[in-house]
Amino acid sequence: MFFQLMAKPAGSVCNLDCQYCYYLDKPHLSQRHMDFALLERYIQNYIASISQSEVTFLWQGGEPTLAGLAFYQQAVEFQQKYAKGKIIHNALQTNGILLDDAWCEFLQKNHFLVGLSIDGTPKLHDSYRLTKSGKGSAKQVLHALNLLQHYQIPFNTLTVVHHHNVQHGKAIYHYLKSLNVSYMQFIPLMGEHSQRASPRDYGQMMIDIFDEWYAADIGKISVQFIEQWMMAFLGLQPSLCIFRKTCGDQLVIEQNGDIFSCDHYVYPEYKLGNILDTPLIDLIQNPKQQRFGLIKAQLSTKCQQCQFRFACNGGCPKHRTVQGFGEPHNQLCEAYFMALSYMQPYLKELAKYFR
């Protein structure tokens, strides 16, 4: 069966103090990293549970590099021990602060894909991504980006969209382009934050970025939301869970082996069990998880009638908090609808071309 398990080996601890981060409020375990006996169990179980010939390990946090380089060296050894002919991939999402030559040599040698968090130009980045002493972190992130390029490590950028950078979509796109970034993700800040961008502004930002991309960078730069919706216009299911019909195949393993339904639902009621007590495959096949995945298909009347349902599928259930449309409706709808309405004629043309 297909599923992905995202690991948080260092728990929710971080070496930055981003002013919008909800992990800062979460309780931290005192352990530096997942212990090696658990790591071995997790890697063996995960590889054995995936029926496909390729297995991807996703390392996130908090800040996953805080688990230390030795932790990942051990992880790779376990992966080799249990691969049994399967191809293993690793993807690490990091703020870049700890990346140095030793890290980059390791990441390069073991073919890691890196996701680097960068919120735009140095000034925009430093509006919220602060060090523990309250200073901006842009300089360190740019150093990390240069190192990744120097070592030719494949990487993408993750930009959190908030009320400061949302008006600067074009500038951010061109800034990242000037840094030779070839895969960009723009993820809106959600939750109860005063720093959130409005859905309208986020929609306009997507349109602005799309315009820049369409004018000069088709086939050269990948932007996640464009790529995902392009898939839908080609008649395929988007690969990103939030735009698919159902979900439930993106689980999380915490530092202590607890497995949860999804990173957006790390709450006691969504805990499926612990990998030390129950084989992973049994946790995945738990009817509770099957039901969780189907919640996404319960769409509001507005979504059911929407012309863009095939591309959006109501977005993530976590963001469906608007009442009055039968089932709860997505707070990002205005952004999605605006952007899709604008992009539709272009994506239709591109789909004809790609076909």
What positions carry a catalytic annotation? 263
Tell the smallest beta-carbon distance from residue 17 to ligand SF4 (Å): 25
Judged by CB under 6 A, does residue 314 bind ligand SF4?
A: yes
At 47 the three-state DSSP class reads helix
Backbone angles phi, psi at 139, to 5 degrees: -60, -45
Site for ligand SF4 in 204-263 (CB under 6 A): 241-242, 247, 250, 262
Structure tokens at 210: 């799309």
For ligand SF4 (CB under 6 A), the number of binding residues is 22
Residue choice 258, 308, 343, 347 for contact with ligand SF4 (CB under 6 A): 308
Sign of the CA dihedral with 101 first, then 102, 103, and 107 last: positive
Nearest to ligand SF4 of 71, 243 (CB atom): 243
Tell the smallest beta-carbon distance from residue 160 to ligand SF4 (Å): 15
| Distance between CA atoms of residues 274 and 8, nearest Å | 14
Neighbouring residues of 325: CB distance < 8 A, sequence distance ≥ 6? 300, 301, 302, 303
Please give the distance of CA 262 from its chain centroid, rounded to a whole number: 12
Q: Which helix (H) or strand (E) holds 157?
A: strand 155-161
Judged by CB under 6 A, does residue 8 bind ligand SF4?
A: no
| Distance between CA atoms of residues 303 and 319, nearest Å | 14
Residue choice 176, 184, 223, 312 for contact with ligand SF4 (CB under 6 A): 312
Nearest to ligand SF4 of 170, 191 (CB atom): 191
Tell the smallest beta-carbon distance from residue 244 to ligand SF4 (Å): 7
Residue choice 33, 129, 163, 264 for contact with ligand SF4 (CB under 6 A): 264
Residue choice 8, 41, 125, 302 for contact with ligand SF4 (CB under 6 A): 302
Residue with tokens 């169990």: 41
Sign of the CA dihedral with 93 first, then 99, 103, and 105 last: positive
Judged by CB under 6 A, does residue 309 bind ligand SF4?
A: yes
Judged by CB under 6 A, does residue 289 bind ligand SF4?
A: no
343, burial (CB in 10 Å: exposed 0-12, middle 13-18, buried 19+): buried
Nearest to ligand SF4 of 218, 294 (CB atom): 294
**Closest Cα partner for 20 from 171, 157, 163?**
163
Nearest to ligand SF4 of 114, 241 (CB atom): 241
CB 165 within 8 A of CB 176: no
Judged by CB under 6 A, does residue 296 bind ligand SF4?
A: yes
Nearest to ligand SF4 of 204, 250 (CB atom): 250
Q: What is the 3-state secondary structure (H, E, C) of 60-95?
A: CCCCHHHHCHHHHHHHHHHHHHHCCCCEEEEEEEEC
Tell the smallest beta-carbon distance from residue 302 to ligand SF4 (Å): 5
Binding mask 327-346 for ligand SF4 (x = CB under 6 A): ---x--x--xx---------
Tell the smallest beta-carbon distance from residue 348 to ligand SF4 (Å): 17
Tell the smallest beta-carbon distance from residue 310 to ligand SF4 (Å): 9
Nearest to ligand SF4 of 32, 309 (CB atom): 309
CB 215 within 8 A of CB 208: no
Residues contributing to the site for ligand SF4 (CB under 6 A): 241-242, 247, 250, 262, 264, 296, 302-303, 306, 308-309, 312, 314-318, 330, 333, 336-337
